[in-house]
Amino acid sequence: MINKLAFKLTSYIEKHGKFNRLEELEQIQYAITTILSEVFKIIVLIILFSVIGNLNYLLFSMMILLSIRLFSGGLHAKSLLGCLMWTILFFTLTSIITPLLPRLSPYFYYIVFLLNLALIIVQAPYPNPKRPIKKKKRKLYLKIIAFSFSLFWTYILIFHINNLTYLNCGVATILLQSLQLIYIKKEV
């Protein structure tokens, strides 16, 4: 359904716009498909976590994840349904399960933060195979921004979050995003 809508919107743009090269139209269709898929996914997540009663944790986790992942990259599912399932699993872990955990040793939190920063330095950015990053300058820029957001959230979580449930939610978000960077292959 999303692919059909994206195709129709791209066809409309082709007829009424100044884009006519196949490569441009493919990029436009990819962008429209991505935006529509993300909007659909976010709506499903908001409804689901509102019903469950954990919307605040979802939004907190989502804010941390998006600010880092946009620049560091990560794993991508091959289909919208697969992506939705992995996303629901991710946010179930960060927004439902980890807020229930007791306070862990401060050393655990510090290790997670150091692991995250090290993985960003070594592995990021990891691009989507459909959108490879070709310029070294762009890769360095994305790495610096990902590292900066990671450092920002590390500082916020260590020094400004006194609520244990939000601390665990934030740490889990950073940990799960970092672990994705271990798995990925740098072929793209």
82 CB neighbour count, 10 Å cutoff: 11
Phi, psi of 92 (to 5 degrees): -65, -45
Could you report the average pLDDT of every consecutive run of 10 residues in the chain (188 residues)? 78 74 77 87 96 97 96 85 94 96 93 94 81 85 95 96 96 94 62
Phi, psi of 54 (to 5 degrees): -120, 30
The confidence score (pLDDT) of residue 187 equals: 47
The confidence score (pLDDT) of residue 120 equals: 92
The confidence score (pLDDT) of residue 188 equals: 40
Are the beta carbons of 115 and 177 closer than 8 angstroms?
Answer: no
What contacts 172, CB < 8 A, 6 or more positions away?
Answer: 61, 93, 94, 97, 98
The confidence score (pLDDT) of residue 185 equals: 56
Q: Is 120 helix (H, G, I), strand (E, B) or coil?
A: helix
